[in-house]
Every structure is written in C-alpha cells, then in structure tokens.
C-alpha cells in the first residue's frame, strides 16, 4: 500500500470533499479520484460513495481514516522533532589509561559539555597516528613518539610514586614489594623498555607479581592489599576521592632514588591543521588539574 494514497484519503475524509482535498494537496481532481479508487482496490473496501454533487465517507472509510490519522500525526511529530534537533559539534580525544582513568571524566564534564565526544584509548605512537590522520583532535601523552606533522606542548611535570595499602607493606624492603605493572611496554630505542606507568627497566628491577592491561584492575589489586603500583600522584588523589577511606592508597616509603620521579606530560595536536577553538582551553585546564 502506498502511504501517499492513504494520506490523500485521510485528507478527503477530513474535509469531506474531493474538490477541497485536491486543492489542499495540490492535485487535480481526476488524479485524486484515481488515487482513491486504487486505494479501495488495495483495501478491498468501498471508502467513499457519491452523494448528490459530493461524496460520503463509508463506514469502512471512516474506520480506516480513524486508524490512519494518528499514524500520520506521529510521523509528522517525529519529523518535526528531527528537524529541531540540535546537532552538537564533535570533538575527539585520544590518550591512554594513565590519563583516561579518573582524569578524563573531570576534563569532559568541565570543558566539553557542548560537544559530542569520542574518547579513544591507544598506545603512545598510535596516539600520534590518530592525530596525524585527523581522526582525533587532541591527544595527551607522557611518552612522545615524534612524527612528522605532530606538535607537542609540555603541560606539566607530575610526581610519580609507589602507592599501596601502607599498613600492609610499610615494613617491606623495595626488593620484597609485590608490584602490579602494565602488561604492554613501550620500546624506547633499542635497549630501553618503559612500562605504560613510566617505569624504566634500567632504573630498578621490580618484583613483579601481576601484569594487567587495565589500570583500574591494577588499582583494585592495590585496594585489596595484594600488591603496590607505580602511579601518578594526581591519579591516586582522584582515586581516593571516589573510594571509602579504608581503601585509600598511600605512598609507600622506600628508597627515594627508586620511588621519586617526575613524568612530563604533553598535549598532542597536528601542526598541519588549524587549531580547534577548544584546544587552548583544554591545555590550560589539563595543566591545572595535573598540578593540583
């Protein structure tokens, strides 16, 4: 059944006249009459009958119009709603778990409420690829992998420490501390491997108990007192704001040469494209968050 013919018939039923309906629909009377006859054939029912110089809507015609009219009203409302929808501009951020866990929620709730957001998690190097391809507007990394067309801006130098349940590991030496570490390393040159948490193999070898792909899993193991982890101070500050006091993580006092380190954090954008209006605002906000 052609929906246009059904719509034409509903107009005829509403105004009670072929002549008036044809005028409203912008059709000739013969074309509208033919359309109604085809609809009657499709329905197997007589919908209108002659009445003097006019027409009468039959009982079957009235029943059909009563059922069809609400459908057309709903379709009209849906179309109106679609036309009135506000299409938000899109913005894509690419980073990895060191920054997407906890920090990203604060960033987007404060700065990007007026955007349709895509958050992509990739490894360093892949972050630069997304920016270069134009599939992301803004990146955050602590492990720059320089590539052509990529521009970095240092946002902050953040303290990194070993964190855990202090009451469980306070008396342990560094060599005995069970660590949870990222499962994916980053290759830097031919001899140095750096974990996604920023720990370099050449600094000090850790007693690795668990390898995980998700930072939230690492934090959960630490909350349970199973191990310690190497985290940015800002991550643990945000973490402790979200969990009960008994699950707070604290710095583990060990050899300062081992535990004290700062990690440089950079924004990543394309030097080949015009800067997005929100980029400068994001740089300032992320910097403020990291330095709290």
**Is residue 164 a contact partner of residue 252, using CB atoms and an 8 Å limit?**
yes
Q: Which residues pair with 211 in a beta bridge?
A: 181
The whole-number pLDDT of residue 85 equals 58
Is the confidence at residue 189, as pLDDT, over 50? Answer: no
**Is residue 149 a contact partner of residue 215, using CB atoms and an 8 Å limit?**
no
Is the confidence at residue 80, as pLDDT, over 70? Answer: no
The alpha helices in 224-278, defined as continuous H runs, are 233-242, 256-259
Helices 3-15 and 18-25: crossing angle in degrees, nearest 10, is 130
pTM above 0.75, yes or no: no
Comparing 1-5, 90-94, 234-238, the range with the smallest average pLDDT is 1-5
Determine the 3-state secondary structure of 266 from DSSP.
Answer: strand
* Confidence class for position 91, pLDDT limits 50, 70, 90: confident
Calpha distance 224→106 (Å, rounded): 25
The whole-number pLDDT of residue 190 equals 36
SS3 per-residue string spanning 148-189: CCEEEEEEEEEEEEEEECHHHHCCCCHHHCEEEEECCEEEEC
Could you say which DSSP state residue 228 is in?
Answer: B
Comparing 11-20, 138-147, 271-280, the range with the smallest average pLDDT is 271-280
Rg over CA atoms, the chain: 33
Question: pLDDT > 70: what percent of the chain?
Answer: 89
Tens-place pLDDT, residues 3-46: 788 888 888 888 888 889 888 888 888 888 888 888 888 888 89
* Confidence class for position 223, pLDDT limits 50, 70, 90: very high
Name which of 99, 110, 136 is nearest 284 in CA terms.
110
Q: Write down the residue that tokens 């140095």 correspond to.
A: 192
Burial label, 1 (beta-carbon count in 10 A; 0-12, 13-18, 19+): exposed
Name which of 157, 154, 115 is nearest 137 in CA terms.
115
Residue 69 half-sphere exposure toward CB, CA atoms < 13 A: 13
Name which of 95, 97, 111 is nearest 235 in CA terms.
97
Domains of the chain: 3-84 (1.10.10.10), 90-291 (3.40.190.290)
- Dihedrals phi, psi of 23, to nearest 5 degrees: -65, -45
Mean pLDDT of 277-289: 84
CA distances (Å), origin 266, targets 130, 143, 206, 214: 15, 8, 27, 21
Work out whether the CA dihedral 73, 79, 82, 84 comes out positive or negative: negative
CA distances (Å), origin 95, targets 101, 130, 140, 259: 10, 10, 5, 25
**Is residue 212 a contact partner of residue 180, using CB atoms and an 8 Å limit?**
yes
Query: Which structure tokens are listed for 49?
Result: 């009958």
The whole-number pLDDT of residue 220 equals 96
Calpha distance 30→236 (Å, rounded): 78
* Confidence class for position 201, pLDDT limits 50, 70, 90: low
The alpha helices in 1-58, defined as continuous H runs, are 3-15, 18-25, 29-43
Mean pLDDT of 56-83: 80
The whole-number pLDDT of residue 82 equals 62
Mean pLDDT of 195-213: 80
* Confidence class for position 107, pLDDT limits 50, 70, 90: confident
The whole-number pLDDT of residue 192 equals 44
């Amino acid at each position: 059944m052609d929906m246009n013919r059904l719509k034409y018939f509903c107009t005829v039923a509403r105004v009670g006249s072929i002549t008036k309906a044809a005028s409203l629909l912008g059709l000739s009377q013969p074309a509208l009459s033919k359309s109604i006859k085809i609809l009657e054939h499709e329905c197997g029912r007589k919908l209108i009958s002659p009445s003097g110089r006019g027409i009468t809507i039959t009982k079957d015609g009235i029943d059909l119009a009563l059922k069809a009219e609400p459908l057309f009203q709903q379709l009209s409302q849906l179309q109106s709603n679609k036309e009135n929808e506000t299409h938000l501009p899109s913005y894509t951020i690419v980073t990895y778990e060191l920054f997407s866990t906890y920090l990203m929620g604060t960033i987007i709730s404060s700065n990007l409420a007026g955007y349709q957001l895509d958050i992509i998690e990739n490894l360093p190097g892949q972050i630069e690829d997304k920016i270069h391809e134009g599939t992301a507007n803004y990146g955050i990394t602590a492990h720059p992998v320089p590539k052509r067309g990529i521009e970095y801006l240092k946002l902050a130098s953040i303290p990194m420490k070993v964190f855990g349940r202090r009451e469980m590991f306070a008396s342990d030496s560094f060599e005995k501390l069970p660590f949870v570490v990222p499962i994916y390393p980053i290759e830097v040159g031919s001899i140095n491997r750096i974990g996604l948490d920023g720990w370099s193999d050449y600094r000090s070898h850790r007693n690795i108990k668990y390898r995980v792909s998700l930072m939230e899993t690492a934090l959960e193991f630490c909350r349970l007192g199973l191990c310690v982890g190497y985290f940015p101070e800002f991550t643990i500050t945000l973490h402790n704001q979200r969990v009960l006091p008994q699950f707070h993580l604290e710095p583990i006092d060990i050899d300062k040469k081992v535990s004290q380190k700062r990690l440089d954090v950079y924004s990543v954008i394309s030097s080949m494209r015009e800067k997005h209006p929100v980029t400068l605002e994001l740089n300032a906000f992320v910097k403020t968050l990291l330095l709290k």
